[in-house]
C-alpha cells in the first residue's frame, strides 16, 4: 500500500468515526433533588433538538431550574424557571423535528413549545404515558406535534415520584409542586 493510499484510507476511517460519533446516542445525567434520571438522546433522529439540549446543559442553563408543571398521568415539564415566577432568558427557538418518527410514549423526553410549532427553546417534558395526541401527524399548525428527542433509560422511578407529588397554582400557573423539584444539574456523559 502506498503512502498516499494509506493517508486516504486514514482520512476515510477518521471521517467515518466522526460521522458515527455524531449519530450515536448521547447519554445525559439529570440530577434532581428527588434522584437521578439518565437519558439517552438521539442525534440521528432529532439533531437540532439534541444539539440544543446539550448546548443548554453545557452552558449550565438547567442548574437550579425547577419542574414547574407536573401533571399526574400526563407529563412532567421543566427547564425554564428558577421558581414559579422567574423564567430564564433563552436562546433563539429551534425548528420542530417532530416528523422524525419518534412517538410521545411513556418515558420519552420531548421539546416543550408554545402554540407556534417552531418555538421550542430550553423547556422539555418527560411523558408519563403514551400521549399519542402529541405526535406529529402533518406539517400544519395543529398537526406538527411535539418533538421527541430521547428517552429515560434509568430513573423512571424518579420521574414517577416527581409525578406523584401534590401541586397547586402559583402566580397564575397551574400544576406547580408544593415543594420545588430542582434540577441540580444536567451532565453530558462522555
Query: What's the pLDDT tens digit per position in 105-132?
Result: 999 999 999 999 999 999 999 999 999 9
Residues 6 or more apart in contact with residue 28 via CB below 8 angstroms: 38, 39, 40, 41, 53, 54, 57, 150, 186, 187, 188, 189
At 160 the three-state DSSP class reads helix
Q: Which three cell numbers stand for residue 123?
A: 423547556
- Residue with C-alpha cell 446543559? 57
Percent share of the chain, pLDDT over 90 = 84
**Alpha-carbon distance 63 to 36, whole Å?**
14
At 96 the three-state DSSP class reads coil
Least trusted range by pLDDT, from 58-62, 80-84, 117-121, 184-188: 80-84
CATH number of 24-189: 2.40.100.10
Question: Over 60: is that where the pLDDT of 4 sits?
Answer: no
Which band of pLDDT confidence, cut at 50, 70 and 90, is reported for residue 84?
confident
pLDDT at 171: 82
Write the pLDDT tens digit of every residue in 135-180.
999 999 999 999 999 999 999 999 999 999 999 998 888 999 999 9
Amino acid at each position: 500500500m502506498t503512502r498516499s493510499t494509506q493517508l486516504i484510507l486514514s482520512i476515510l476511517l477518521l471521517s467515518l468515526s466522526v460521522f458515527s460519533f455524531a449519530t450515536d446516542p448521547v447519554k445525559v445525567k439529570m440530577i434532581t433533588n428527588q434522584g437521578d434520571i439518565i437519558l439517552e438522546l438521539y442525534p440521528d433522529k432529532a439533531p437540532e433538538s439534541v444539539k440544543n439540549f446539550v448546548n443548554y446543559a453545557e452552558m449550565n442553563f438547567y442548574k437550579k431550574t425547577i419542574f414547574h408543571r407536573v401533571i399526574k398521568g400526563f407529563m412532567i415539564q421543566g427547564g425554564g424557571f428558577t421558581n414559579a415566577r422567574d423564567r430564564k432568558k433563552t436562546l433563539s427557538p429551534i425548528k420542530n423535528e417532530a416528523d422524525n418518527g419518534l412517538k410521545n410514549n411513556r418515558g420519552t423526553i420531548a421539546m416543550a413549545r408554545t402554540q407556534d410549532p417552531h418555538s421550542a427553546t430550553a423547556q422539555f417534558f418527560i411523558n408519563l404515558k403514551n400521549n399519542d395526541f402529541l405526535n406529529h401527524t402533518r406539517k400544519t399548525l395543529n398537526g406538527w406535534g411535539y418533538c421527541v428527542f430521547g428517552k429515560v433509560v434509568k430513573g423512571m422511578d424518579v420521574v414517577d415520584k416527581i409525578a406523584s407529588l401534590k401541586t397547586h397554582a402559583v402566580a397564575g400557573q397551574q400544576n406547580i409542586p408544593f415543594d420545588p423539584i430542582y434540577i441540580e444539574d444536567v451532565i453530558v456523559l462522555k
